[in-house]
Amino acid sequence: MFKNHCIFCNEIVRNRKASVIYESDKVLAFMDNAPVEPGHALVIPKEHYENILDIDYETYLEVHRVTKALSPPIIRAVSAEGINIGQNNGACANQKVFHYHVHIIPRFPDRELKWGRRIALDHELDRVAARIREEIQNHDGDIPVLK
Protein backbone atom coordinates (compact mmCIF):
# COMPACT_ATOMS: atom_id res chain seq x y z
CA MET A 1 0.00 0.00 0.00
CA PHE A 2 1.13 3.55 -0.72
CA LYS A 3 0.04 6.57 1.32
CA ASN A 4 0.01 9.94 -0.40
CA HIS A 5 0.39 11.93 2.77
CA CYS A 6 3.26 9.84 4.11
CA ILE A 7 6.68 11.47 3.77
CA PHE A 8 8.45 8.09 3.54
CA CYS A 9 6.07 6.70 0.90
CA ASN A 10 6.27 9.87 -1.16
CA GLU A 11 9.74 11.26 -0.75
CA ILE A 12 11.75 8.13 -0.05
CA VAL A 13 10.02 5.15 -1.72
CA ARG A 14 8.54 7.00 -4.71
CA ASN A 15 10.93 9.92 -5.32
CA ARG A 16 14.14 8.58 -3.73
CA LYS A 17 14.97 11.86 -2.01
CA ALA A 18 17.51 10.16 0.20
CA SER A 19 21.01 8.73 0.27
CA VAL A 20 20.09 5.09 -0.24
CA ILE A 21 22.49 2.48 1.11
CA TYR A 22 20.53 -0.68 0.41
CA GLU A 23 17.42 -1.82 -1.41
CA SER A 24 15.56 -5.10 -1.89
CA ASP A 25 12.06 -5.94 -3.12
CA LYS A 26 10.54 -5.20 0.26
CA VAL A 27 12.98 -2.96 2.10
CA LEU A 28 14.81 0.33 1.66
CA ALA A 29 17.66 1.64 3.84
CA PHE A 30 18.90 5.21 3.70
CA MET A 31 20.68 7.89 5.71
CA ASP A 32 18.57 9.76 8.26
CA ASN A 33 18.65 13.41 7.19
CA ALA A 34 18.80 14.52 10.84
CA PRO A 35 21.40 12.13 12.20
CA VAL A 36 22.07 11.64 15.90
CA GLU A 37 25.61 10.60 14.85
CA PRO A 38 27.30 10.21 11.46
CA GLY A 39 26.15 6.98 9.84
CA HIS A 40 22.65 7.12 11.35
CA ALA A 41 20.53 5.06 8.96
CA LEU A 42 16.87 4.09 8.71
CA VAL A 43 15.46 0.80 7.47
CA ILE A 44 11.87 0.86 6.22
CA PRO A 45 9.46 -1.45 4.42
CA LYS A 46 8.56 -0.14 0.96
CA GLU A 47 4.91 -0.80 1.70
CA HIS A 48 3.22 1.51 4.15
CA TYR A 49 2.79 0.21 7.69
CA GLU A 50 2.25 2.65 10.51
CA ASN A 51 3.88 0.79 13.37
CA ILE A 52 4.57 -2.56 15.01
CA LEU A 53 0.84 -3.18 15.47
CA ASP A 54 -0.05 -3.27 11.77
CA ILE A 55 3.15 -4.53 10.09
CA ASP A 56 2.89 -8.18 9.03
CA TYR A 57 5.39 -10.71 10.37
CA GLU A 58 7.11 -11.39 7.07
CA THR A 59 7.81 -7.72 6.42
CA TYR A 60 8.80 -7.11 10.04
CA LEU A 61 11.33 -9.95 9.91
CA GLU A 62 12.78 -8.73 6.62
CA VAL A 63 13.21 -5.17 7.96
CA HIS A 64 15.00 -6.50 11.03
CA ARG A 65 17.09 -8.99 9.07
CA VAL A 66 18.36 -6.11 6.93
CA THR A 67 18.92 -4.04 10.10
CA LYS A 68 21.23 -6.75 11.43
CA ALA A 69 22.97 -7.21 8.09
CA LEU A 70 23.66 -3.48 7.70
CA SER A 71 25.00 -2.97 11.21
CA PRO A 72 28.55 -4.30 10.59
CA PRO A 73 29.19 -2.25 7.42
CA ILE A 74 27.79 0.87 9.09
CA ILE A 75 30.05 0.36 12.13
CA ARG A 76 33.07 -0.13 9.86
CA ALA A 77 32.22 2.81 7.60
CA VAL A 78 32.26 5.36 10.43
CA SER A 79 34.67 3.53 12.78
CA ALA A 80 32.04 3.26 15.51
CA GLU A 81 32.49 1.06 18.56
CA GLY A 82 28.83 0.52 19.40
CA ILE A 83 25.40 0.80 17.87
CA ASN A 84 21.87 1.59 19.02
CA ILE A 85 18.89 0.00 17.29
CA GLY A 86 15.77 2.07 17.92
CA GLN A 87 12.16 1.72 16.93
CA ASN A 88 9.31 3.96 18.16
CA ASN A 89 5.57 3.26 17.99
CA GLY A 90 3.02 6.02 18.59
CA ALA A 91 3.30 9.75 19.19
CA CYS A 92 3.79 9.31 22.93
CA ALA A 93 6.69 6.95 22.18
CA ASN A 94 8.37 9.71 20.14
CA GLN A 95 7.37 8.32 16.73
CA LYS A 96 7.58 11.29 14.35
CA VAL A 97 7.00 9.65 10.97
CA PHE A 98 4.10 7.22 10.95
CA HIS A 99 5.64 4.75 8.55
CA TYR A 100 7.38 1.84 10.28
CA HIS A 101 11.12 2.44 10.58
CA VAL A 102 14.14 1.21 12.47
CA HIS A 103 17.00 3.52 13.46
CA ILE A 104 20.58 2.28 13.25
CA ILE A 105 22.70 4.73 15.25
CA PRO A 106 26.47 4.25 15.45
CA ARG A 107 28.04 5.15 18.80
CA PHE A 108 31.50 6.31 19.78
CA PRO A 109 33.25 5.85 23.12
CA ASP A 110 34.35 9.45 23.64
CA ARG A 111 30.99 11.07 23.01
CA GLU A 112 28.03 11.79 25.24
CA LEU A 113 25.13 9.38 24.67
CA LYS A 114 22.65 11.94 23.36
CA TRP A 115 19.68 11.77 21.02
CA GLY A 116 20.08 15.35 19.78
CA ARG A 117 19.73 15.74 16.03
CA ARG A 118 20.65 18.24 13.38
CA ILE A 119 19.76 18.41 9.71
CA ALA A 120 22.75 17.20 7.72
CA LEU A 121 23.82 18.50 4.34
CA ASP A 122 23.02 16.24 1.38
CA HIS A 123 26.65 15.89 0.38
CA GLU A 124 27.56 14.76 3.93
CA LEU A 125 24.86 12.08 3.79
CA ASP A 126 25.93 11.02 0.29
CA ARG A 127 29.54 10.70 1.43
CA VAL A 128 28.68 8.46 4.41
CA ALA A 129 26.24 6.43 2.28
CA ALA A 130 28.98 5.84 -0.29
CA ARG A 131 31.35 4.62 2.47
CA ILE A 132 28.68 2.22 3.78
CA ARG A 133 27.91 0.87 0.29
CA GLU A 134 31.64 0.34 -0.19
CA GLU A 135 31.82 -1.63 3.07
CA ILE A 136 28.85 -3.75 1.98
CA GLN A 137 30.54 -4.46 -1.35
CA ASN A 138 33.94 -5.20 0.14
CA HIS A 139 32.90 -7.43 3.00
CA ASP A 140 29.35 -8.62 2.87
CA GLY A 141 28.57 -9.31 -0.76
CA ASP A 142 24.94 -9.61 -1.53
CA ILE A 143 23.07 -8.80 1.69
CA PRO A 144 19.58 -10.02 0.70
CA VAL A 145 20.65 -13.68 0.62
CA LEU A 146 21.77 -13.98 4.20
CA LYS A 147 22.11 -17.51 5.51
Main-chain phi, psi angles of 83, to 5 degrees: -155, 135
| Single-letter residue type at 29 | A
User: Are the CB atoms for 84 and 107 separated by under 8 Å?
Assistant: yes
Comparison of 3 and 64: residue with beta carbon closer to Zn ion: 3
Which of 99/131 has CB closer to Zn ion? 99
Q: Provide the mask over 81-120, with x wherever binding to Zn ion is found by CB under 5 A and - wherever it is not.
A: ------------------x---------------------
Active site residue 101: yes
Residue 8 makes contact with Zn ion by CB under 5 A = yes
Tell me the residue number closest to Zn ion, measured at CB: 6
Q: Say whether residue 3 binds Zn ion (CB under 5 A).
A: yes
Neighbouring CB atoms inside 10 A of 147's CB total: 2
- Site size with Zn ion, rule: CB under 5 A: 6
Q: Give exposure, 102-128, as e/b (b: 16+ Cβ within 10 Å).
A: bbbbbbeeeeeeeeeeeebeeeebeeb
- Kindly state whether residue 48 participates in binding Zn ion, applying the rule CB under 5 A: yes
Choose between 44 and 75: whose C-beta lies nearer to Zn ion. Answer: 44
Nearer to Zn ion, 26 or 133 (CB): 26
Eight-class DSSP state of 126: H
Three-state secondary structure call for residue 73:
helix
Residues with catalytic function: 101
Which spans of this chain sit near Zn ion (rule: CB under 5 A)? 3, 6, 8-9, 48, 99
